Amino acid sequence: MTQRISHWIDGKTWAGVPERTGEVFDPATGEVRAHVDFAGDGQVDEAVAAAARAFPGWRDTSLAARSRVLFRFRDLLAQRKDELAAIITAEHGKVLSDAAGEIARAIENVEYACGAPQMLKGGFSENASTNVDVYSIAQPLGVVGVISPFNFPAMVPLWFVPNALACGNTVVLKPSEKDPSASLFIAELFAEAGLPDGALNVLHGDKVAVDGLLAHPVVKAISFVGSTPIARYVYETGTAHGKRVQALGGAKNHMVVLPDADLDLAADAAVSAGFGSAGERCMAVSVVVAVDPIGDELVDKIAARMGGLRVGDGRSPDSEMGPLVTAAHRDRVRSYVEDGVSAGASLVVDGRSLEVDGGGFWLGPTLFDHVRADMSIYTDEIFGPVLSVVRAGSYDDALALVNASPYGNGTALFTNDGRAARRFQNEVEVGMVGLNVPIPVPVGYYSFGGWKDSLFGDSHAYGPEGFHFFTRTKVVTSRWPDPSQGGVNLGFPRNS
Ligand code: NAD
């Protein structure tokens, strides 16, 4: 008997019988470790109804009481981070230290949400007109949906859930069906922190659950993170149903290395950002653009570092890189390696030959050189441990390559030339830029979001834009007149 994972609705585990379930694997062994219930329309209705019932009470819970729940949740998360990291590693496969890093970044977002009383202060203009005051109030939207991808099963839900709750909304979270347990752990910690039943519900499943949330008339907003085709679909469908939608999509992040850069530091960064989490990060570096004449030297340095990478079970402290999330995903990534070879790219390090004991979903770090912009290993988001090096003749050629990409999530420039760096930050059409920083994920008090096909909608995730997304503003104009000031006046009110 494997473990059963079910929905968390109205403060408890759903007790019904599912019509459909999915398998959850341990990627390091290939074994099925659990079956997860898939929601049908009935469970979508139940979860949304629970959130709708909880909304009036939570909306009217004082700012002080709401932020105290978040403070308690933050402490519980910090105390129990090792348990959560173990859950992430068991279902996702990433190494424990990487899972701990994801939780640390998640905690930053909870800490930001703890400051809700400061963030939700409105403006007040005394005497905007004589004896008339004008002020603004930021109010919650109601029930909001959060739909997250497999690659950050704790951090991405916690990009949205704390801020949504801090603003007074109630939430239905639909995590990835590939690694659903982290969301349940989070929901239980929120309950322990004092969050009322129904304020956070976890609904498991696939497209059926997502479509149910997108069409549900009670759901006011959707925060989505996943691949670009699904992000575009979620944005178009959700907005067609009158919802506010932010949908973050996929990426192909370029790291440009100028000839004056420290090539050892650049090679360290390319390997760390290319193969951390087996390349299953939306901010992974997947393309290195080597500007002439340093290409050969840089490729040698990257290849030398790859030789020393230890790939194995994420639970072992010796492992630096774990398996891929499923066999199907590993096979897809592997097929890109075959495509790259057939298209004529130089295969410098071939990860297909990696052998690890057990039946896990393994693929070793792979490096291609002399990749061209028309090859599928360049155009497509592979989302695995495959790094491509493209040669560019000049800074201008490198910039043009980055800007021609339909994606615009993250990019990095490695250089010691401050003027080149300033030019790059000004000219590059990408939402998050690292200057000698390979994975420029903004801290919790900025906001996270790409440009172009990496984000649909106009609000980035978390930070100030997160608060903006989860509230709507009401402006009140008030006066308390003396009875002697009456009288009918059909003219348009003007300020005096
Ligand atoms: P995915 O698009 O397959 O799934 C994301 C979510 O959408 C999941 O909850 C899934 O159940 C649901 N879903 C899948 N197919 C659907 C469909 N046809 N209709 C409706 N819903 C559907 O993404 P994934 O494989 O879980 O995650 C990896 C992707 O996420 C990569 O493309 C990565 O770049 C992207 N990502 C982006 C960011 C970012 O901030 N831009 C962050 C993390 C991951």
11-46: pLDDT as tens digits? 999 999 999 999 999 999 999 999 999 999 999 999
| Residue whose CA is at the smallest distance from ligand 1 atom 30 | 226
- Region 223-235 average pLDDT: 98
177 CB within 6 A, ligand 1: yes
pLDDT confidence band for 311 (50 / 70 / 90) = very high
- Look at residue 235 in the predicted model and tell me its pLDDT: 98
| Residue whose CA is at the smallest distance from ligand 1 atom 10 | 176
12 CB within 6 A, ligand 1: no
For the chain, give the mean pLDDT. Answer: 97
- Given a cut of 90, is residue 281 above it in pLDDT? yes
227 CB within 6 A, ligand 1: yes
Share of the chain above pLDDT 70, in %: 100
- Given a cut of 80, is residue 1 above it in pLDDT? no
Torsion, CA 290, CA 296, CA 301, CA 307, rounded to 10:
110
- Look at residue 47 in the predicted model and tell me its pLDDT: 99
CA of 222 to the centre of ligand 1 (A): 14
- Region 176-181 average pLDDT: 98
Catalytic residue chosen out of the listed positions 172, 266, 282, 432: 282
- Given a cut of 90, is residue 358 above it in pLDDT? no
How far apart CA 246 and CA 232 sit, in angstroms, is 10
pLDDT confidence band for 482 (50 / 70 / 90) = confident
- Region 469-483 average pLDDT: 95
pLDDT confidence band for 483 (50 / 70 / 90) = confident
CA of 418 to the centre of ligand 1 (A): 37
pLDDT confidence band for 227 (50 / 70 / 90) = very high
- Look at residue 224 in the predicted model and tell me its pLDDT: 99
| Residue whose CA is at the smallest distance from ligand 1 atom 16 | 207
- Region 259-276 average pLDDT: 98
pLDDT in tens, 387-436: 999 999 999 999 999 999 999 999 999 999 999 999 999 999 999 999 99
- Look at residue 316 in the predicted model and tell me its pLDDT: 97
222 CB within 6 A, ligand 1: no
CA of 383 to the centre of ligand 1 (A): 11
- Partnered with residue 291 across adjacent β-strands are 392
CB count within 10 Å of CB 143 equals 27
pLDDT confidence band for 357 (50 / 70 / 90) = confident
CA of 191 to the centre of ligand 1 (A): 27
- Look at residue 424 in the predicted model and tell me its pLDDT: 98
- Look at residue 212 in the predicted model and tell me its pLDDT: 98
CA of 149 to the centre of ligand 1 (A): 4
CA of 159 to the centre of ligand 1 (A): 15
| Residue whose CA is at the smallest distance from ligand 1 atom 32 | 227
- Given a cut of 80, is residue 214 above it in pLDDT? yes
| Residue whose CA is at the smallest distance from ligand 1 atom 21 | 207
171 CB within 6 A, ligand 1: no
39 CB within 6 A, ligand 1: no
Contact residues for 369 (Cβ-Cβ < 8 A; gap 6+): 295, 299, 345, 346, 348, 389
150 CB within 6 A, ligand 1: yes
Tallying the residues shown for the chain, one arrives at 496
pLDDT in tens, 66-93: 999 999 999 999 999 999 999 999 999 9
HSE-CB of 326 using CA atoms within 13 angstroms: 14
Beta strands in 426-491 (DSSP E): 432-435, 451-452, 455-456, 471-478
- Given a cut of 80, is residue 279 above it in pLDDT? yes
| Residue whose CA is at the smallest distance from ligand 1 atom 6 | 149
**pTM for the whole structure:** 0.98
How far apart CA 84 and CA 182 sit, in angstroms, is 7
- Given a cut of 90, is residue 484 above it in pLDDT? no
207 CB within 6 A, ligand 1: yes
Interface pTM, i.e. ipTM: 0.99
Contact residues for 487 (Cβ-Cβ < 8 A; gap 6+): none
- Given a cut of 90, is residue 495 above it in pLDDT? no
> Given ligand 1 and candidates 151, 183, 245, which is best to mutate, with the most ligand atoms within 8 Å of its CB?
151
Contact 278, 286 (CB under 8 A): no
What is the DSSP track for 174-192?
E--TTS-HHHHHHHHHHHH
CA of 83 to the centre of ligand 1 (A): 25
pLDDT confidence band for 2 (50 / 70 / 90) = confident
DSSP at 150: S
149 CB within 6 A, ligand 1: yes
Radius of gyration of the chain (CA): 25
pLDDT confidence band for 494 (50 / 70 / 90) = confident
282 is a catalytic site residue: yes
